[in-house]
Structure 1
Amino acid sequence: MKSIAGADPDLDDCVDAPASLREQVYNDLRYRLITGRIVPGVGISTRGLAQEMGVSQMPVRDALSRIAAEGAVEIRSKRAVMVPRMTTARFEEIMRLRTVLEPMVASAALPHITSETLRQIRAADDATDAALAGGDARAYMDSNHRFHSLIYGAAPLPLALRMIESLWMQFGPFMRVVYGRYGTANLVDQHREAIAAIVAGDAGALGAAIAADIGDCADLMQDWERLKL
């Protein structure tokens, strides 16, 4: 459909865009936040993102509005959108919520993890090991997220899964900066324990391994004052 004279062409693009495209843009931006491709305290260009994705700015703005409602970005004006800087209180609340939700969801997922899913989980763990060995923070963020998503995604708990994704959106940008500054050499990989628990069919041990993994991330908080993110 052509734009009406005097109308905003971006608005027409948004109206014409199918729901699947708007959802694709939304999911793309969520993934960028979860894996730390968008960092705290830096302005987000809707024009730049739209160009990268090959869409108009309106679907991007729509997605950012949805993500702002989830607390992962702040929209200060039409042209001032950014990931909020982390605070100690916010970080601690995110970690407490992760510690409650993720072990519970992992334990609930165990009966639904198939042999094929386990194969994919192992592959994600191998990719994580390679990223740790190579000091590749970006690859680590990708493979670590895939590892956890494969486990949690098997659980029949859609509301809890959505909450976890929202927490990861708020957590990811901050941790990407931490990993970028301090490297991956000192990170502890709890994935082997999680895999062993899956193989043994031990839901309690799986939950404990996930909780330990989250605890290792929380330990990075000791450098918080020096980071000043």
Structure 2
Amino acid sequence: MSQSDAAFDLHAPAVHARSSPFGIPTKKLAMWLFIIADAATFAGCLVAYGFLRNGTPNWPTPFKTPTVVNAGVMTFVLITSSLTILLGVRDAKLARKSQSLRWINITAVLGIIFAILHIREWFGMISEGVTLAHNPWGSALFGSAFFSITGLHLTHVAGGVVALLAVGWRYRGGRYNSDDIEILGLYWHFVDLVWMFVVPFVYLMNVAH
């Protein structure tokens, strides 16, 4: 390769993400399709939960103030993480890589805090005898529904934390760009939004009177 060719390669513009026939980058379209499909899954679970709850005569309402407070703290953590990933996307778009990475890492830490709070809650319920197949407060279906829905969401949070760390690492090394950070942000906002529906359905509707 000649020196002139090398100079041209050094100054060549970065290759942009491939666009889909719909006019948006292929990876972003794939993420939106995933979000739509996953939203349908969660919606189906919550609707089924509603029918199950209304159709079960001895459905318990066991949650007291500590559980509600814990759910509130978890909600605050996720709302804060939505803000931090938003700042991470903004800084990535402004080519402020170090600041963006800082916000991405903070978001991952908040996701881990959420998971710890959730698992601690699970262990507390299990210690009281609530499992997938048993519930001392009433219908055993309560435990099955609670652990299934919150477990599905927690799996998404855990996957999101792994994605935050992996994408952040590749972004630091120059293999990912601001578009990838934006796509990561879409997923994280979706996970946070789902929680806003889980809380009233699974927690607030089961507060002890």
Given the two structures, how large is their TM-score scaled by the length of structure 2?
0.33
Structure with the larger RCO, 1 or 2 (CA within 8 Å, 6+ apart):
2
Structure with larger Rg: 2
